[in-house]
Amino acid sequence: MKGLFFHISELDPEKGKRFLLVCALQAVIMSANRRITLIFGGFVAAVAAAFYPIFFHPYSHKDEYKELQKVNRAGIHQADVQPVGLKIWSDPFKPKS
Report domain extents, the chain. 10-72
Query: Please, what sign has the CA dihedral across residues 36, 39, 45, 46?
Result: negative
What distance in Å separates the CA atoms of residue 16 and residue 29, rounded to the nearest whole number?
20
The confidence score (pLDDT) of residue 81 equals 80
Using DSSP, state whether 90 is helix, strand or coil. Answer: coil
The confidence score (pLDDT) of residue 1 equals 45
Mean pLDDT, consecutive 10-residue stretches, the chain (97 aa), reads 54 66 75 82 91 88 91 84 77 79
CA nearest neighbour of 52 among 41, 61, 63 = 61
Measuring CA to CA, how many Å separate 44 from each of 32, 41, 56? 18, 5, 15
E strand or H helix at 23, and its extent?
helix 13-51
pTM as predicted: 0.44
The confidence score (pLDDT) of residue 90 equals 76
